[in-house]
Amino acid sequence: MVNFKPDSIDYLGAGSSQTIDVKVIPGRDTGRGGYNLTFIAEANETRTANSTMLRIENGSSFWLWVGLGVAALVIVGFIVIFVHFGRD
């Protein structure tokens, strides 16, 4: 969900600017990582774009658990191979 404050700008004179607060609430299924946000403002024959990076810290940790599981299987595999074919 994205909320803008103010919702709209009725008039903006030439050479002037307006600050807009943007509140971004990621969905429940949004994973951790970086997301690029691009904001575009248009009026008549003028267009301005601004990009920023949004970092999600708390999110789904599914891939973290998959990675840890794979690492554990590899370690167990090396231990089994070492014990089975180890030096006598």
Q: What confidence score (pLDDT) does residue 74 get?
A: 95
- Report yes or no: 58 and 88 within 8 Å, Cβ to Cβ: no
DSSP code of residue 51: E
The full set of domain ranges for the chain reads: 2-85
Q: What is the pLDDT along the chain (88 residues), one digit of tens a residue?
A: 888 898 888 887 777 888 888 888 888 777 778 888 888 887 777 788 888 888 877 655 777 788 899 999 999 999 888 888 876 5
Q: What confidence score (pLDDT) does residue 72 get?
A: 95
Helices (H), 1-88: 62-85
Q: What confidence score (pLDDT) does residue 18 get?
A: 84
- The candidate with the shortest Cα–Cα distance to 44, out of 11, 7, 85, is 11
